Amino acid sequence: MTFQAYLDNIEAKTGMSAADFRRLATANGWMERGRLRADIKAGVVVEWLKKDFGLGHGHAMAIVAVLKGAKEGC
């Protein structure tokens, strides 16, 4: 599965794009200069995405990659 396919599946499941998740992470205070703050561990974000949006681990990690700026998603 391509990275874009992960993002497409996330959007189909949640109705939210990678940009929407970036906005929510910003509202949570987790972003700095457009990237996930270094002190915010991936596990915290993954737990949030699993609990609040029903994402599986792989899909949650795709969002983490977007937030870290490792992958383009928005």
In a domain, 34, yes or no: yes
Closest-CA residue to 70 (of 28, 27, 34, 43): 34
Q: Taking CA 53 as the corner, what is the angle to CA 35 and CA 72, rounded to the nearest 5 degrees?
A: 30
pLDDT at 1 over 80: no
Q: Looking at the predicted structure, is the pLDDT value of residue 58 above 90?
A: yes
> How many domains does the chain contain in total?
1
Q: What is the pLDDT of residue 61?
A: 96
Domain residues for the domain of 13 are 3-68
pTM to 2 decimals?
Answer: 0.91
Q: Which tens digits make up the pLDDT trace of 15-53?
A: 999 999 999 999 999 999 999 999 999 999 999 999 999
Residue predicted with more confidence, 56 or 70 = 56
pLDDT of residue 72: 61
Q: Is residue 74 part of a domain?
A: no
With beta carbons less than 8 A apart as the criterion, state whether 46 and 60 touch.
yes
